[in-house]
Amino acid sequence: MKLAAGFAAAAVMLAGCASDDDGDAGTSETGGSEDASVGLAFDVGGRGDLSFNDSAAAGIERAADELGITFQELSPNEDGSNRADLLRQLADEGHNPVIGIGYAFGADMDTVAAEYPDVQFVRIDGGPSELENVAVMTFADEQGSFLMGVAAALKSESGMIGLIGGNEGAVINAFAAGFKQGVAAVDPAIQVQDQRLAPGEDARGFDDAAGARVAAEAMYQSGIDVIYTPAGQSNIGTFQAAAAADAWAIGTDSDQWETAGDPELQAHILSSMLKRVDNAVFESVSTFLEEGALESTAYDLSTDGVGYATSGGFIDDITDQLDDYKQQIIDGEIEVSRTE
C-alpha cells in the first residue's frame, strides 16, 4: 500500500492536471501562438500513467516549447466510450491537427474525420485509415520487444519468464510476439508464460495495476524471475510485485526507471522498451505546421522509433549483445514477426 501510495503521488505530480473521479474528460491548455492550436486526446488512463500517455504528453509539451503552439488535451472516461465525443469537441473548438493517442481511436477517428474533412487527424498506433485527412503513426513494437526478450533471457537465472499484456488486441500481440522471438533467439528452451488483463481489444487492461500485481505475484511465486508488461499504467502493479519478490520487471513505452521515481521500485526495473510516441507527436505537429498536411509514418529500430532504456545500469553488461541483435534486425538479417 505504501508503494502504491507513493506511485500515485508521483503520478499526480507528473500529471499537473487529472481527470475527474467520475471519468469525465479533463482538460489543460498551454503554449504560445494562438495561430497554431493542437488538440490531443489521451488513451484510457490519461496524463500521469507514467507510460504511453505521458510519452505523448512530453511530445506535445516539446511542441509548445519549441514551436510556440497552444494545445488542449482531453482524457476519456474509464471505458473509453466517449472517444468520438472528445475528437468532435477538439475539432469544434478549432484545433488542428487533432491527435488521438492509441489504436482504440481507430473507428471513432475515421467516423469523426469524415465529418470534418478540413481538419487533419492523427492517430498514434493501429491499422491504416482510408481517409485522406487521417494519418496513422505506427511503431515496430515487435522489434523493440525482441530486444527486451533478449535482455530477459540473458538476465533470467531461473530460465522462467513471464509476460502480462494489457489485452489480446493486435498491438499487444505484436509486443508479445516480438518478446517471445527475442527470448527464443537466446535460448529456444525457455518458455514464456503469457497472461492478459482484458479480452480482445478491451482497453481496460491498460489501467488495471491491481490486476497486473495479482498476475505478477502468481508468476513470481511460480519461479518466474523476469516479467515484461506491455500494459500501460498497469505496469505499476508488476513493479510493486517485483519489488516484493526481489525479482525483475521490464517497463514499456517510456523509460519507466525514470518515471517510477521510487528507489524501491527502480531497483527492480531491468530496462524498458522505448516507444517514441513523444517524437511521433512532436514531428506530426512540426510537419503539419510546415506542410499543412500529414502522411502516415512507420517508426522502427532504424529510425530510433523504438529502442531500449539503460537507466539503472542493470543491462550495461549485455548492451553489446543487444546492439548486435539490433543491427541484425536493421540489416534484415533477423526478421521479427508481429504474430507468433
Q: Fill in the amino acid letter for 90.
A: L
- pLDDT over threshold 60, residue 18: no
**pLDDT at position 99, please?**
98
CA atoms within 13 A on the CB side of 49: 31
Residue 226 in this model has a pLDDT that exceeds 50: yes
Give the three-class secondary structure for 33: strand
The pLDDT value given to residue 338: 95
Annotate 292-304 with DSSP letters as a single string. S----EEE-GGGT
Confidence at residue 8, expressed as pLDDT on a 0 to 100 scale: 39
Cis peptide before 97 (omega within 30 of 0): yes
Length of the chain: 340
Task: Show me where the domains of the chain are located.
Answer: 14-139+277-302, 141-274+310-330
Please list the helix, strand and coil fractions of the chain in percent, rounded to the nearest 5, in that order.
45, 20, 35
pLDDT at 123 over 50: yes
Instruction: Transcribe 163-232 into DSSP letters.
Output: EEES-SSHHHHHHHHHHHHHHHHH-TT--EEEEESSSTT-GGGGG-HHHHHHHHHHHHHTT--EEE--SG
pTM to 2 decimals? Answer: 0.82
The CA distance from 89 to 23, in Å, is 16
Q: Determine the pLDDT at residue 340.
A: 81
Strand order in the sheet with 269-275: 192-196, 161-165, 226-228, 248-253, 269-275, 306-308
**In the structure grid, which three cell numbers stand for residue 115, read together?**
465529418
Span 191-196, mean pLDDT? 97
Task: Give the cell for residue 159.
Answer: 530460465
Q: Which three cell numbers stand for residue 225?
A: 524471475
Portion of the chain with pLDDT greater than 90, in percent: 81
Taking domain 141-274+310-330, whether its CATH number is 3.40.50.2300 is answered by yes
> What's the chain's average pLDDT?
90
> Among 138-147, 165-174, 251-260, which is the least confidently predicted range?
251-260
Check: CATH 3.40.50.2300 for 14-139+277-302?
Answer: yes
Report the percentage of the chain scoring pLDDT > 70: 90
Contact 67, 285 (CB under 8 A): yes
Task: For residues 176-196, give the mean pLDDT.
Answer: 97
Judged against a pLDDT cut of 90, whether residue 10 lies above it is answered with no
Report pLDDT digits (tens) over 266-299.
999 999 999 999 999 999 999 999 999 999 999 9
For residue 13, give the 3-state DSSP assignment: helix
pLDDT tens per residue, range 51-62: 889 999 999 999
Q: What's the mean pLDDT in 53-77?
A: 95
Same fold, 14-139+277-302 and 141-274+310-330: yes
